[in-house]
Amino acid sequence: MKVAVVGATGLVGKVILQLLEERNFPVTELLPVASARSLGKSITFRNIEYKIQSVDDAIAASPDLAIFSAGGSTSLRYAQAFAERQCIVIDNSSAWRMDKTKPLVVASVNDHHISNEHYIIANPNCSTMQLMVPLAPLHKAFQIKRLVISTYQSFTGTGKQAVDQYEYEKANQTYNSEIAAYPHKIFANCIPHCGDFGDDGYTTEETKLVNETRKILDDPSIQITATAVRVPVFGGHSEAVNIEFEKAYDLEQVLDILKSTPEVILQNEAENNLYPMPLNAYETDPVYVGRIRRDHSIQNGLNMWVVADNLRKGAATNTIQIAENLLQSGRLPK
């Protein structure tokens, strides 16, 4: 199988390559693609050295699978060209997520939305991704009426520039606007500003949580509001989630559902100080759920805390899981 990775030198791109190797995905030829400044450089994959190439060269090579992690403008410009060559594209950007003709997929939740005519498949935003894993079975059981989501998102979600800013500030204790990804220091700080502000005062990250959740759960009636905060954490994204269900629930039912949900690890022992933390989620694939308790302020209310590694389950792992499902269904060559 010939596989192109567009954005191979970025934070998520590197994790995608790592997971292709870890999960023994049957790549027979790798086409690593990066920006013009990386052309001619090499990467090593399964002890073989591959030259970075241009996206045009990768399109001409007609791969079976193209994994995009290079930003929305790149995906909008090139994804269709791959698809026209019968190459399946799995895209990590926001470019196609709300396109009604493209499935927005969390592998363990709604991969049944992918049909044979789909050649571009969208990955959700990392914060949405981890949230859908525990929410989908709870929605099926009790029907979610309203969600209030507060996110505490790792600066790694912004990319290499944010990592460089954090490391610089950690070493120098000063802010340098010329190299910064954010308008303020991120080291030892929290910034309630993820993405760009819209006219309504919400950021793009907050709006994505609203729109993508409704599309993935296939329920536009769910009322959702969100606040997204960037925090000085490496290990992953954390989310405080307040849920109002339409139906009455029993707390033991909720716990049983989550215990039996693939990819969820329940860490819900307050008496033992056991609860999800990004420090423990770092470089792992599951979604960790804990601090589960009834919200006594509303009928059928529930609070929980959700944590996952944003570069793995929030992006790269789901991408590879989608590809594995396509492999099993026969849409990709084994």
Q: What's the pLDDT score for residue 218?
A: 97
Confidence of residue 254 (pLDDT cuts 50, 70, 90): very high
Report how far residue 136's alpha carbon sits from residue 302's, in angstroms, rounded to the nearest whole number.
Answer: 15
Task: Quick: pLDDT tens for 47-101.
Answer: 999 999 999 999 999 999 999 999 999 999 999 999 999 999 999 999 999 999 9
Q: Which residues are catalytic?
A: 126, 237
Torsion of CA 86, 81, 92, 38, to 10 degrees: 120
Confidence of residue 37 (pLDDT cuts 50, 70, 90): confident
Spatial strand order in the sheet of 65-68: 29-33, 2-6, 65-68, 88-91, 120-122
Handedness of CA 260, 264, 269, 270 (dihedral sign): negative
Q: What's the pLDDT score for residue 121?
A: 98
Q: What's the pLDDT score for residue 91?
A: 98
Task: Quick: pLDDT tens for 200-234.
Answer: 999 999 999 999 999 999 999 999 999 999 999 99
210 three-class SS: helix
Q: What's the pLDDT score for residue 38?
A: 87
Is residue 60 within a helix (H) or strand (E), and if so which, with residue range? helix 55-60
Residue 54 neighbours by CB distance under 10 Å = 14
Q: What's the pLDDT score for residue 15?
A: 97
Task: Quick: pLDDT tens for 101-112.
Answer: 999 999 989 999
Amino acid found at 65: L
Numbers of helices and strands, H then E, in the chain: 10, 13
Q: What's the pLDDT score for residue 105?
A: 98
Q: Is residue 113 scored above 90 in pLDDT?
A: yes
Taking the domains of the chain in order of start, what are their residue ranges?
2-123+315-329, 127-310
DSSP 138-194: HHHHH-EEEEEEEEEEEGGGG-HHHHHHHHHHHHHSS--TTT-SSSS--TT--BS--
Determine the CATH number of domain 2-123+315-329: 3.40.50.720
What pTM does this model have? Answer: 0.96
Contact criterion met (CB below 8 Å) for 305 and 238: yes
Going by their DSSP bridges, the two strands 287-295 and 301-308 should be labelled as: antiparallel
Report how far residue 178's alpha carbon sits from residue 238's, in angstroms, rounded to the nearest whole number.
Answer: 29
Structure tokens at 93: 């950007």
Sequence length of the chain is 334
| 55-63 contacts at long range (C-beta below 8 A, 24 or more positions apart) | 55/6, 57/31, 57/33, 58/4, 58/6, 58/31, 58/33, 58/82, 59/85, 61/2, 61/4, 61/31, 62/2, 62/86, 62/87, 63/2, 63/3, 63/4, 63/29, 63/31, 63/87
Among candidate residues 327, 333, 332, the one with its CA nearest the CA of residue 107: 327
Q: What's the pLDDT score for residue 55?
A: 96
User: What would the mean pLDDT of 145-150 be, rounded to a whole number?
Assistant: 98
| Residue with the two structure tokens 């693939």 | 262
**Mean pLDDT in the chain?**
97
CATH 3.40.50.1700 fits 127-310, yes or no: no
- Angle CA(35)–CA(38)–CA(44) in degrees, nearest 5? 115
DSSP state of 40: T
Q: Is residue 289 scored above 90 in pLDDT?
A: yes
User: What would the mean pLDDT of 228-249 be, rounded to a whole number?
Assistant: 97
Among candidate residues 168, 314, 128, 334, the one with its CA nearest the CA of residue 236: 314
Q: What's the pLDDT score for residue 93?
A: 96
Q: What's the pLDDT score for residue 8?
A: 96
Confidence of residue 283 (pLDDT cuts 50, 70, 90): very high
Distance of CA 289 to the CA centre of its chain: 16
Read off φ and ψ for residue 226, nearest 5 degrees: -145, 150
